Chains A and B, each alone.
Chain A
């Protein structure tokens, strides 16, 4: 499949923090149309990077290159699911999705895609935490689908947190579908055992710096699993996914 549209390039991006910088001289080119996983231990700078990519925060140094034909408005460039949502208004789940600018029927469709159509008419504030997250995920998917595939990027900050495996699988399938359609797609997640088999490329952050970018087996070496996450394990590549094999914590019997 030939891909239209430009890759997203970061050029020496730095972002100051209260003590240590949140991002340090990060340079990487993110291709579109691929399932990109943003990995790294807690505090590595994943959310900071997504904030910069989404235009919420301007980097103190460096710049983003979106390509010559990128739309003027940020809202036409990217859809973003931040880590936390503040909504408290008693919209129904379908109405929340419709805030992306789609009809309520279309909204119901997105709820179906994630397997939560049964909650469509339930007031959002009465839903459980995991379901609320799924509703927002559906809203951001709806916004992403309204963008042009050759320009649109989807940034998802921990959409898998607090989800059971079935729903996590639904989310991963939905995100993969957008990547296959040519959208740029970057997913930040801690659920490596679920997300690594899904990912085509992994960007590994450590202390605000880009440590590695490549296929899961080249990036997630046993040494890195041990030093960054404190686990013994390795990633076994196989056609169509591969798997993460874990064998306890470092230092534990």
Chain B
């Protein structure tokens, strides 16, 4: 039974601390924590490279997994993911537009604000489009939503590519950055937008467990139990969009994290949403820290974009899940 499994937050918290520590210590140049004082080269590596990058990985991972958990719950669709639905693509196109207009020339701290704002607008637009195109009658249709997401992703990807080519500076390189997100550009300012946003989001959603559970009954029956369905939908979608946009603005598109983490949590801790959102935040942070560690180590001293790694892991997972879902649909018959 699900209740016997507990919240799992302690175990997930420990795993997160472990991953964070590993991200600080391991790398092309391994650091020995006990020898930091004697090694003058170690401090700059830790303070200027590893720490901001680990912080960024944790925040981006938490944001994407939380957004994925919200989208899966609110669309009642285990295949939902911010990148698959085109939300990340919309955010990337928004951010790339502002950058190609020359915001990149601003001091990097100032550029973050318009870039994040444009990413949010682009993501909102993508969400609205997916919800509109994926509707069949009054109901959201699983395949409709996914196909709309595919189309929006393709369009946004092409748009980003075009903008980067036209703006000339480092064209191909920055296309790769947006389409396969990376944490390599982390500096002390990049974690800031999510650092400000995540705590209030976790606070606001801390008692959403029961509501998200009831919501699974369907709009009508959830309302019979007194749930304010429309309110929950709007708030949840807005939060998921905002978190995705801020993650994309600082790290590009990192796909499949929002898909894999909530689905893994369902298998580990049961279907209830009671602790799902904090669980997702912790597990997402841990997973992206570890993925980024791999991305840094696999080809050291070169490194993979971490988004490429999550896509390599997540793609097959998605196909497996899709197959299961389609099989289940045909068993149900009606």
Contact = CB atoms under 8 A, between A and B. Distances in A.
A91 B272 CA distance: 7
Interface stretch (B13-21, B127-135, B191-199, B212-220): B212-220
A91 B225 contact: no
B218 A85 contact: yes
A92 B1 contact: yes
A83 to B, nearest CB: 11
A104 interface: yes
Contacts of B332: 125
Contact of B271 (A54, A75, A91): A91
B3 interface: yes
A74 B227 CA distance: 11
A88 B216 CA distance: 7
Contacts of B136: none
A121 B1 contact: yes
Given A75-B225, A90-B271, A95-B272, A85 B1 contact: no
Interface string B223-245: 11110000000000000000000
B195 to A, nearest CB: 33
Given A92-B1, A121-B1, A143-B225, A86 B271 contact: no
A143 B226 CA distance: 11
Interface in B260-288: 266, 271-272
A99 interface: yes
Interface in A76-124: 76, 78-80, 82, 85-92, 94-95, 99-101, 104, 121, 123
Contacts of A100: 225
29 contacts: A54-B224, A56-B220, A74-B224, A74-B226, A76-B226, A78-B224, A79-B224, A80-B224, A82-B220, A82-B221, A86-B221, A87-B217, A87-B221, A88-B76, A89-B76, A89-B271, A90-B266, A91-B216, A92-B271, A94-B1, A95-B2, A95-B213, A99-B217, A101-B210, A104-B3, A123-B271, A125-B328, A125-B332, A143-B225
A166 interface: no
A251 to B, nearest CB: 33
Contacts, number: 62
Identify which of B221, B271, B328 gathers the most chain A CB atoms within 10 Å of its CB.
Answer: B221
B211 to A, nearest CB: 10
A101 B222 CA distance: 12
Contacts of A87: 216-218, 221
A143 B223 CA distance: 13
Top 8 A-B residue pairs of the complex, sorted by shortest distance between their CB atoms: A75-B226, A86-B218, A89-B216, A90-B271, A91-B271, A80-B224, A99-B214, A87-B217
B224 A104 contact: no
Given A73-B226, A87-B216, A99-B213, A92 B221 contact: no
B226 A104 contact: no
Contacts of A56: 220, 223
Interface of B: 1-3, 76, 210, 213-214, 216-218, 220-221, 223-226, 266, 271-272, 328, 332
Chain A interface residue count: which class?
A: 20 to 34
Given A92-B2, A121-B1, A85 B217 contact: yes
A78 B226 CA distance: 10
| Chain B binding surface SS class | helix
Contacts of B214: 99
A95 B216 CA distance: 12
A148 to B, nearest CB: 15
A88 B272 CA distance: 13
Contacts of A89: 76, 216, 271
Contacts of B266: 90
Interface centre among A78, A87, A94 (most CB of B within 10 A): A87
Contacts of B224: 54, 74-75, 78-80, 143
A181 to B, nearest CB: 21
A85 B328 CA distance: 17
Nearest to B226: A75
B225 A99 contact: yes
Contacts of B218: 85-87
Contacts of B213: 91, 95, 99
Contacts of B223: 56
A78 B221 CA distance: 12
B225 A101 contact: yes
A132 to B, nearest CB: 10
Contacts of B1: 92, 94, 104, 121
Interface string A55-78: 010000000000000000111101
